């Protein structure tokens, strides 16, 4: 029998829930490094100590959930409707 493939690394879903306006430049840089560019943006990240440390610094701006399925990269914001999509 073939060996079981090892499960991939644990992943977490990080969503920005508060604005970075008025925060320290270091906090804004941390959000950018996490791949978050605005309220409502989400990103799936590998659950590592380095990432957890970054999240601890901006915990007042984000929510973290354990990720089972992998959503689209770049957030869960739907595409904008164009003139031909009405």
pTM equals 0.70
Residue 49 included in any domain: yes
Boundaries of domain holding 20: 11-69
Total domains in the chain come to 1
What is the SS3 string spanning 24-70? CHHHHHHHHHCCCCCCCCEEEEECCHHHHHHHHHCCCCEEEEECCCC
| Of 48 and 74, more confident | 48
- CATH number of the domain within which 48 lies: 3.30.1390.20
Q: 12-45: per-residue pLDDT in tens?
A: 999 999 999 999 999 999 999 999 999 999 999 9
Contact 6, 40 (CB under 8 A): no
């Amino acid at each position: 029998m073939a060996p079981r493939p090892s499960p991939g690394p644990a992943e977490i879903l990080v969503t920005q829930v508060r604005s970075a306006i008025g925060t320290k430049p270091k906090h804004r840089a941390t959000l950018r490094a996490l791949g978050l560019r605005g309220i409502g943006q989400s990103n799936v990240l590998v659950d590592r100590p380095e990432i957890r440390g970054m999240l601890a610094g901006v915990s007042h701006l984000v929510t973290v959930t354990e990720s089972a399925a992998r959503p689209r990269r770049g957030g869960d914001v739907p595409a904008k409707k164009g003139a031909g999509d009405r």
